[in-house]
Structure 1
């Protein structure tokens, strides 16, 4: 290893990072990249052992994929925060919305990162000190959203208000349930 690589990873050497991700290829790739930067990376593919493993491993950084098949990692954030008060918790998702971002931050997450993940952006988030920066980003982004993205955000907010009940959300949006399901199945449009 050359000296420039050593100096780059020396600040991260042996920092424990727990990755909760159900995509095995993405998880292997990300863990390999993080290990090369000096992190001690562990991977879980479901929430079944999340709290137990966090208690045993005591990670400094916890990366949580929000959607894990039929499960969601958001309900675990508050307990993780209580169990690991000094850990940096970052929620990662391919289905980012303002409603879920706000829920994650209010539950105790430090940051929220949409997929695909850029490694340098992730490393910047990990090394950045805890600030209220995330809530400011949400406000700034909401001021420049496209109409399609605004629709996505509004649907997510109404769905969140209805605790995930698609039928009630469709009724409140005056939309057919199938139409709502099709809109929810699509990835959100970029800003």
Structure 2
């Protein structure tokens, strides 16, 4: 499999993976290594900044929300350290505003979780002129809606009335939605 990508990756296959989900980032690192990349994993903004200062990678996959800060800070630092780096921003909460911010700061592409190694590889290696192909299994519209409601609910400290007000929903409708299981 690595032979298929080696030509596209080029001589510098260094890849920085920044995500506070240790299990996810370890799995992704193994999968990307099989594809010919040389991944390094870090779990925080601080670690990522130190790594970038020492050896800025040619490629990076950065989670938007990290425990110690925003992945956008890492995007900005990497873009300053290495202008030619291909940067993908990954997040569990896809929103147009954060996608625009990520691209303005220098991200090459923006993917919503769950993204697999094939999605990440396609995004990292796509030419800037063409859009990468759509993901094999994108989140359904119902799942995206569910994720958004859950995020706002958590941000409102699990207060149903406040969440309903912010989402412009009736409180009882929101309660029914929250009582159900999330769609697949």
Length-normalised TM-score, structure 1: 0.67
Q: Deviations over 1:35-62 (max 9, x none)?
A: 1111110000000132221132221111
1:35 matched residue in structure 2: 33
Structure 1: runs of 5+ lacking an equivalent: 138-144, 157-164, 167-174
CA distance in structure 2 between the partners assigned to 1:94 and 1:52 by the alignment: 25
Q: Secondary structure at the match of 1:42?
A: strand
Inter-CA distance 82–132: structure 2 relative to 1 (3 Å threshold): farther
Q: What's 2:6 paired with?
A: 10
Return the alpha-carbon distance in structure 2 between the equivalents of residues 118 and 58 of structure 1: 24
CA distance in 1, matches of 2:12, 2:97: 34
Over 3 Å counting, the alpha-carbon distance change for 1:189 and 1:99 in structure 2 is farther
What are the residue-to-residue correspondences of 1:47-126 with 2, within 5 Å?
A: 47-69=45-67, 71-126=69-124
Pairwise CA distance, 1:84: 1.4
Aligned residues: 160
Provide the C-alpha distance between the structure 2 equivalents of 1:94 and 1:27, rounded to a whole number of angstroms.
Answer: 14
Describe the shift of the 1:39–1:14 C-alpha distance in structure 2 as closer, same or farther (beyond 3 A).
farther
Give, in angstroms, the shift of residue 18 of structure 1: 0.2
The answer to whether the 8 Å contact 1:21/1:65 transfers is yes
Gaps of 5+ in 2: 135-140, 168-173
In structure 2, C-alpha distance between the alignment counterparts of 1:189 and 1:108, rounded to whole Å: 33
Deviates more, 1:17-26 or 1:62-71: 62-71
Question: Relative to structure 1, is the Cα distance of residues 82 and 131 closer, same or farther in structure 2, using a 3 angstrom cutoff?
Answer: farther
Alpha-carbon separation, structure 1, partners of 2:46 and 2:2:
36
How many angstroms apart in 2 are the aligned matches of 1:112 and 1:6?
24
* 1:121 shift after superposition: 1.9
TM-score, normalised to structure 2, is 0.69
Any idea what SS the aligned residue of 1:28 has? helix
For 2:39 and 2:104, the matched residues in 1 are separated by 26
The whole-number CA distance in structure 2 between the counterparts of 1:55 and 1:178 is 41
